[in-house]
Amino acid sequence: MRLQKEVIWLLLIGLLILTIVIGLEWMKADQRKKPKSLVMTFIDDAKTSRAFTWYTDNSNVSSVLQIVKGSELKFDKELVTTITGITSTIASSQQVQGVHKAKVSNLEPGTTYSYRVGSGGDKDWSKPAIFTTEARSLNEFTFINVTDSQGITEEDFILWGKTLNKAFEIFPTAQFIIHNGDMTEESDDDKAWDHFFSEAEPWVSQVPLMPVTGNHDEVDGVADHFTSHFNLPNNGAENSIEGTSYSFDYGSAHFVILNTESNIKEQTTWLEEDLAATELPWKIVAMHRGAYGGNMNKKVGDWVSIFDQYKVDLVLQGHNHEYSRSYPLRDGEIVGDGDNMINDHEGTVYVVTNTAGQKFNEQKGNQFYHQVHFQNEKQMFAGVQIKGDSLTFQAYDKDGEKLDEFVIHH
């Protein structure tokens, strides 16, 4: 009798352990379908469309986007639009992950939407988020510029997250972010990308992050981890890796994103055509290695001639991990009177906003073109406000101290 009781107890305990193990496996499997690394980008007209990318650990699930007008974060069946995106996979030495890309078009300008992404199951939705499309007519907007988040560990990317938090505290109405490249130290390090996005997600699920390709994002002509993470305009130079050169418009500004890592020559042809085709008054270029940064990347000399020809206002750069701002330049020479006001398209200003991550370089020697040049060993960000015929550039450190400011006036 006693023996029988013991057997029953043992069986019950065994059953309990089995139930817990199955439950945990079930939860793990569920977790593997959960979206991560969610990021919004511009892809077509910023007034009427948005693009989204997210990853899952399970590489074999659908890409579903639900969107509804309003900021209520409620997804009633009658009101919601459901869009199925495209699933592909990306392999690293560590694992194979699902890459999910979706796009929504025909949105109304100046309108707020709630959305969520998922794998199709009821339990697989992302945290819902909101965004607002570009207004039909826009006299004023701000964007944030950061560069070289370039971390390895979670601690590294916590610094990047804090930089972004401060940037949005100082510029709460910023409409998008331009990241000037070197997102992570090693492009095929999945953990680093996980940290990069988990720190940025509160922001980049609500405002587009427009990335530039750095030398840590494209290595030996391969940028597939970088391009898998972003759903970008496919309007770049012929023979460039798709998503590494592109342009987009926002308000009164035309933005050109160039890839300093490959295909320089064909980008030169494309750059000229692209700038010739815009009628917008403000022209801003972003690229990783600087034409006039801590040092000069001479390989992009032909691009600089085109910046001069089309009177590009501002060139955002990265790579040097120090702060650098040039005098306004034209034909390789300083123009203007050296104050902090640039008038009437007299020259192009080139900046490097230090780094948003953990790595600082020793300050390079001053060059003739440096108007402001320092290494403060603090993460930095810039807010760029365009209001009518004025552009105001303000650079801050991660503690919220303003360290540089200039105005370009048309």
Using CB under 5 A, list all residues that contact Fe ion.
148, 150, 182
Report the alpha-carbon distance of residue 156 to residue 147 in Å, rounded.
14
Q: Please state the closest distance from residue 362 (CB atom) to Fe ion, in A.
A: 14
What's the closest the beta carbon of residue 372 comes to Fe ion, in angstroms? 20
Q: Please identify, using beta-carbon distances, which residue of 107 and 210 lies nearer to Fe ion.
A: 210
Helix ranges restricted to H, 146-300: 154-170, 190-204, 224-228, 264-277
- Residue 148 vs 322, nearer CB to Fe ion: 148
Nearer to Fe ion, 57 or 182 (CB): 182
Taking the least distance from each CB to Fe ion, the nearer of 150 and 379 is: 150
74 residue type, one letter: K
Report, in Å, the least distance between residue 185 CB and Fe ion. Answer: 9
In whole angstroms, how close is the CB of 182 to Fe ion at the nearest point?
4
Helix/strand/coil for 374: strand
For the CB of residue 212, give the shortest distance to Fe ion in the complex, in Å.
11
Closest to Fe ion by CB, 182 vs 397, is 182
Provide the H-helix boundaries in 287-388.
301-309
User: Judged by CB, which is closer to Fe ion: 148, or 194?
Assistant: 148
Q: Roughly how many angstroms between the first and final C-alpha of the chain, as a whole number?
A: 96
Dihedral sign of CA atoms 255, 260, 261, 265 in order:
positive
Closest approach of Cβ 404 to Fe ion, in Å?
20
Residue of 21, 49, 186, 147 whose CA lies nearest to 105: 49
> Which residue, 134 or 148, has its beta carbon nearer to Fe ion?
148
- Distances in Å between the alpha carbon of 322 and those of 8, 40, 209, 375? 70, 28, 22, 5
Please name the residues in contact with 310: beta carbons below 8 A apart, sequence gap of 6 or more: 272, 275, 276, 283
> Measured from the CB of residue 373, what is the shortest distance to Fe ion in angstroms?
17
Based on CB atoms, which residue is closest to Fe ion, 237 or 352?
352
Q: Residue for token digits 């570009």?
A: 134
Helix (H) or strand (E) holding 8: helix 2-33
Closest CA to 272 of 291, 290, 256, 252: 256
Smallest distance, Fe ion to C-beta of residue 163, A:
15
- Both tokens of 86, joined, read 């495209």
Give the residue closest to Fe ion by C-beta.
182
Pairing of strands 64-69, 50-56: unpaired
Rg (CA), the chain: 24
Toward Fe ion, which CB reaches closer, 76 or 362?
A: 362
Task: Specify whether the CB–CB gap between 379 and 356 falls below 8 A.
Answer: yes
In the DSSP assignment, the letter for residue 299 is: G
In the complex, the smallest distance separating the C-beta of residue 202 from Fe ion, rounded to whole angstroms, is 24
